[in-house]
Amino acid sequence: MGEELKVIVFGLGNEEYGIEVDKVRTIERMCPITRVPKTPSFIKGVINLRGVVVPVIDLRGRFNLAETELTDNSRIIVVAVADMEVGFIVDSANDVTDIDTDEIDSPPEIIGGIKAKYLRGIAKLNEDKLLIMLNLSEVLNKDEIIQLEGLEV
């Protein structure tokens, strides 16, 4: 048996995804987002989170999934990526769960239209439930992180 990994479970469309708890800073309700010109369309802008300017990315846009209306369940999950904080807009933040690292398989080439490079693996939670584990360092590549670091309000 491998070690236990605590993950935040969140929803995008019909799929459930996971991010390691130690990479998550906070989960926030939707708040006003200030648009920033000349950024990729999946970068929705920035928010002021307790005095810190945090870039916000729409994960649906990042993964080329169809955009949907934000709801009362929509959340911004603020994560630490390469020494900076970035917010991810998700459809819902559902749960914290423990995963045995032995239960994480390599991702297939593509899942639900999402390229494997964005995925750390697929975790089997039980017989009929899979959790798609994100690879945060690929969700934002180095060039995009540099671009985000230059965002000023």
Per residue in 33-78, pLDDT (tens digit) is 999 888 888 889 999 999 999 999 999 888 888 888 899 999 999 9
Find out whether 87 and 47 touch, Cβ atoms under 8 Å: yes
CATH numbers and ranges of domains, the chain: 4-149 (2.40.50.180)
Residue 16 CA to residue 133 CA, distance in Å, equals 9
Whether 95 has a pLDDT exceeding 70, the answer reads yes
> Helix (H, G, I), strand (E, B), or coil: what is residue 88?
strand
Q: DSSP letter at 139?
A: H
Whether 145 has a pLDDT exceeding 70, the answer reads no
Which tens digit of pLDDT belongs to each residue from 108-138?
765 555 666 778 888 988 777 888 888 887 7
pLDDT score of 153: 44
Looking up tokens 């459809």, which residue turns up?
A: 91
> What pTM value is reported for the model?
0.86
